[in-house]
Structure 1
Amino acid sequence: MTGRLAGKTAFITGAARGIGRAQAVRFADEGAAIVGVDICGPVDSVQVPPSTPEDLDETARLVEARGGRIVTDVVDVRDVNALRAAADRGADHFGGLDIVCATAGITSRAFAADMTESMWRTMLDVNLTGVWNTCTAAIPHLIHGGGGSVVLVSSIAGLRGLVGVAHYTAAKHGVVGLMRSLAIDVAPHGIRVNCVHPTNVDTPMIQNDVVRRAFRPDLIRPPTRDEFAESATRMNMLPVPWVEAVDVANASLFLASDEARYITSASLPVDAGATQR
């Protein structure tokens, strides 16, 4: 532990697995206490297997195994009152909040003209309004503490268009707009707000038959991991099919730390060059 976040507390949504878990573990490695929340259950219109309470327990175990401190809550980011209660409990437990990572998100696929209203609304509710809810729930604690850092997890879909995910792309572009305006609003309080933009990340959100089939429509059977990787590599400039969750966590750590003390309203791609293809 090198202590880049020593004495700080991070509020992280989507903490049960994937990027959120990686942020929790990586931040704990650097001395932060963690308030981790996740829905730990299914979301309507989403076919990707959901996170579970056991996943969130595993995040807590991993943090504590590194000597870190963590409290967890099962919360849906669409429920702003529940988020506020979780943020309040975490702040009371650790004596405040200093960092916010709005990481929770979902994915689903359909061409825009074929998409149901439910798919559209659910995507915007989770991936955009859920980010706003997270910010409104936690930022008052940062203001009370005299400053801090907010990291919003967008996507390469927040910087470019992608086929078959118009709702996801709209939500992730919206996160960038929210970041830019929010950064102006909270700058007088010493709070910085930035986005990270991953390409595909090797997490359960992409490593499932639903997403793999979308990348390999030429195959009748479910694609293997290697067959998926072959197609996914074409998205990126560097010869890799995806990045690891820790790569996104490392970028988030930089933005959350004092090393980025004068960086705000910035978009940081962690994309293996995908936004330049």
Structure 2
Amino acid sequence: MAEIIFESVSRTFPVTGRNGRPDTELTALHDVNLRIRPGELAVIVGPSGSGKSTLLDLLGGLDSPTSGRILLDGTPITGPGLNRGVVFQQYALLPWRTAASNVELGLEAKKIPAAQRRERALEHLDLVGLSGFADRYPHELSGGMKQRVAIARSLAFDPDVLLMDEPFAALDAQSRETLQDELLRLWRRTGKTIVFITHGIDEAVHLGQRVAVLTSRPGTVKAVVDIDLGDRTARSDLRSAPEFAHYRHRIWSLLHSEVDRAQAAERAAARPSQDGSEPASDSKVSSIG
């Protein structure tokens, strides 16, 4: 189980002007301080453009902070590593490889012998409920099944931390809720530290032990909400329970003013400036978050 600490983390990006050269900067994250406990399933929510995906890129080592640092078990993160597994919204499966062969990818990077790779791939496909689909190709699988393969692939090489960037957003409601419950079971079984990014309040409450709420851009931690719902997979009607509604309302209240601020900023950015030039924030700004 791994501990993650964000220490005064900020990230700015250059914004390209009409001359094709950077003429200003955009701050996506500002002074983020957050501790994620060992073995915790932590959820991060925020309005569009609050820097949620940027934060996960920094944690995955795909990008570096402009200032501050991120510690994983006391060691600063300086790049990607096999101690972190990532599950994206898009499944990113190789279409010419079977489900089992896709799961083996990370094991190949670890130089695991072929027989052991196969055994571990089958074990993890069984873990996510796909024991009979090892030899199926991605085009033969549903969206939910593809995402299960992606989760199995990330778990198979035994990372300390599992990073999930809105992994269920593209699924239908029934598949999404099913995979949320599967993720909770996997988390309890493996004890992994999981950082889960979402824009869905219900999903955040259902999954998170704690939910970190980000402000509108520049994103920083507005509040961290402890969620106490007991064993969520033991109750089929949890989402209709009064305590679920309580936490949902609390997070909604924290987010509501931030969404209003974000929308106001987008409207202001879309208006031409007084000198008649194009707004600086157009495509560059909307792609961050």
Same fold (TM over 0.5): no
Q: Give TM-score scaled by structure 1 length.
A: 0.33
Q: Give TM-score scaled by structure 2 length.
A: 0.32
Larger Rg, first or second structure (1 or 2): 2
Q: Is the helix fraction higher in 1 or 2? A: 1
Larger RCO of the pair (alpha carbons < 8 Å, separation 6+):
2
